[in-house]
Amino acid sequence: MNFRKSPNSPRNPGCGPWPLLARVRLFQATTDLRNCIASISMRLLLLSSEFPPGPGGIGTHAFQLASNLEQIGWRVGVVSPQSYAEKYEVNRFNDATPFPVRRLPFGRGIITEAILRWRDTSRSVREFRPNVLIGTGDRMAYLAWIIARRFGLPWLAVEHGRWPGGWERAIKKRAFMAANAVVCVSHYTRDRLVEMGVGAQKLKVIHNGADPNAFRTMPDGEVQRVRRELGPVDSKWLITVGSVTERKGQDVVIRALPSILKQVPTTHYLCVGLPSKKQEYSALARQLGVEKHVHFAGHVAAENLPQYLNAADLFVLTSRHTADQWEGFGIAVVEAALCGKPAIVSSNCGLAEAIMDGVTGIGVPENDEHATASAVVRLLRDKGERERMGERARQHALANQTWAQKALQYHALIEGLDAWPFHTPSCTTKVFRFVFGRHKDGPSAPHQVQP
């Protein structure tokens, strides 16, 4: 008997529609099974606007999140431009990571760059088959939104502290409203997004962290060696880690130095980070007569940064608001804390959440060199209070502010998403339903070929 033919179908006499329906169901089942197998291990593709070995807090956040999610069972892939680093440095860094990193093109014009990034990221999705996307840094969050929509994936945005104006504001708001969740690195950042119209129900606060394996207190002998390299060992050292820019506010500390030096004459100020405004701030120091007390180290390799933090007496970060940016949290504050250093920070931004005011550090008003000078002098002149505050900062960071702890919070957030694929019926159930699915008149009976 010819299985393909049915007397009921003059165009296809033989057996009716069931073989075609079976083939459709089998195709659907095969596709679904393949997707289920791909999701047996949790796969996350992280799209970041920065990534090491270049500098930047967004890049540090992305690397640490990827590394720590890997350690708790995720399979992670990263897509990022990786700027501010030579090609050989990028290749060496990527070869050492436990997860794949695809470097995106940059510096080729906005249209060409956008097309190439779309192409390369789409390729990464097809090859890596992620269950979920994370977009961190504005333009990569926009790309994550488009890619997630194209491939039908859940995605998270991470907001670090920037809200642009004009047409980009409309795009950012639309992207964030389309995300399954938006992670804010501080409550301050969350409140700003609510003010700007992003639905509060989408917003989740997860503070940034720091790596206790990289940042820790050093033996006194090593500390003294670094201090001798910096200058006289009896000097008092203030340190800021961050690009030398208007937003990071190094000029506030420079303006405070004349008052500080009147009471603690051996004070020096070390600025570590990309020296974007070095010439301008050097001129300011000369104008104030404190140029011999201000030092610019430039970008420091990650492995050397803990040495500078250990050698300093105080960490200072007096960031300010600019036209479209604010300090979302301040990873460097926690890194300094792990090295046993208290911090003096601006109090009206996300930095206030990186310290416990009066316990692990001191908050001062933005752009207030007088309050900054007063806080610096207070801690420099009282070694006991400074050391007690530094030890409390270290203990607090170890207990509450490590990247391992933050990765667990991200993991819990992703698992709680309504769109998370593991919340759908099991792979076996879905395949069974596709092959032996229910019909309007009840369960399917085995099809009988008509004689």
In sequence order, the 6+-apart residues with CB closer than 8 A to the CB of 141 are 47, 135, 157, 158, 172, 175, 176, 179
Cβ 189 vs Cβ 160: under 8 Å: yes
> 182 versus 166: which is more confidently predicted?
182
- Report the 10 Å Cβ neighbour count for 199: 11
In a 3-state reduction of DSSP, which class is residue 80? Answer: strand
DSSP H/E element including 77: strand 75-80
Q: What is the mean pLDDT of the chain?
A: 88
Nearest to 104 by CA among 146, 168, 47, 156: 47
User: Could you tell me the CA-to-CA distances from 133 to 122, 147, 152, 313, 428 in Å, in that order?
Assistant: 12, 9, 11, 41, 25
pLDDT at residue 187 tops 50: yes
pLDDT band at 446 (very low <50, low <70, confident <90, very high): very low
% residues pLDDT > 70 (the chain):
84
pLDDT at residue 145 tops 50: yes
> 221 versus 434: which is more confidently predicted?
221
Q: What is the pLDDT of residues 394-443, one digit of tens each?
A: 999 999 999 999 999 999 999 998 765 554 434 434 443 444 443 333 33
Cβ 154 vs Cβ 52: under 8 Å: no
Do β-strands 343-346 and 101-103 pair in parallel, antiparallel, or remain unpaired?
A: unpaired
Instruction: Using CB atoms within 10 Å of the CB of residue 181, give its burial: 0 to 12 exposed, 13 to 18 middle, 19+ buried.
Output: buried
Nearest to 307 by CA among 334, 262, 285, 339: 339
Runs of H (alpha helix) within 39-159: 57-71, 87-96, 110-128, 138-151
The amino acid present at 11, given as its one-letter code, is R
Which of 48-62, 110-124, 415-429 bottoms out in mean pLDDT, i.e. has the lowest? 415-429
Do β-strands 43-48 and 132-136 pair in parallel, antiparallel, or remain unpaired?
A: parallel
What's the pLDDT at 22? 56
Q: Which two structure tokens, joined as six digits, stand for 192? A: 């700003």
Q: What is the pLDDT of residues 14-52, one digit of tens each?
A: 444 546 655 556 566 555 555 555 445 699 999 999 999
Which of 87-91, 244-248, 381-385, 446-450 bottoms out in mean pLDDT, i.e. has the lowest? 446-450
Which value, to the nearest 10 degrees, does the dihedral of the CA atoms of residues 50, 185, 157, 173 take? Answer: -110
φ/ψ (deg, to 5) at 287: -60, -35
CA distance 348 to 330: 13
What's the pLDDT at 434? 41
Do β-strands 236-241 and 267-272 pair in parallel, antiparallel, or remain unpaired?
A: parallel
What's the pLDDT at 222? 95
Cβ 333 vs Cβ 360: under 8 Å: no
Please tell me whether the peptide bond between 19 and the residue prior to it is cis, using omega within 30 degrees of 0. Answer: no
Sign of CA dihedral 433, 437, 442, 443: negative
> 385 versus 436: which is more confidently predicted?
385
Cβ 185 vs Cβ 206: under 8 Å: yes
Which of 29-33, 149-153, 262-266, 416-420 bottoms out in mean pLDDT, i.e. has the lowest? 29-33
- Sheet with 314-317, edge to edge strand ranges: 294-298, 267-272, 236-241, 314-317, 343-346, 361-364
What's the pLDDT at 109? 81
User: Could you tell me the CA-to-CA distances from 392 to 189, 308, 353, 389, 396 in Å, in that order?
Assistant: 25, 20, 15, 5, 6
CA distance 104 to 143: 12
CA distance 244 to 280: 10
Q: What is the pLDDT of residues 329-338, one digit of tens each?
A: 999 999 999 9
What's the pLDDT at 13? 42
What's the pLDDT at 21? 59
User: Could you tell me the CA-to-CA distances from 115 to 50, 123, 175 in Å, in that order?
Assistant: 18, 12, 18
Give the domains, in start order, of the chain with CATH numbers.
Answer: 39-205 (3.40.50.2000), 220-401 (3.40.50.2000)
DSSP string, 338-357: HTT--EEEESSSGGGGTS-B
Q: Which two structure tokens, joined as six digits, stand for 351? A: 């930095």
CA distance 65 to 61: 6
Nearest to 47 by CA among 117, 113, 129, 107: 117
Q: What is the pLDDT of residues 286-320, one digit of tens each?
A: 999 999 999 999 999 889 999 999 999 999 999 99
User: If you average pLDDT over residues 216-240, what whole number do you get?
Assistant: 94
- Report the 10 Å Cβ neighbour count for 107: 8
% residues pLDDT > 90 (the chain):
76
What's the pLDDT at 269? 98
E-state strands within 333-426: 343-346, 361-364
What's the pLDDT at 417? 87
pLDDT at residue 450 tops 60: no
CA distance 292 to 277: 17
Q: Which two structure tokens, joined as six digits, stand for 153? A: 């994936």
In sequence order, the 6+-apart residues with CB closer than 8 A to the CB of 142 are 135, 171, 172, 175
The amino acid present at 47, given as its one-letter code, is L
DSSP H/E element including 182: strand 181-184
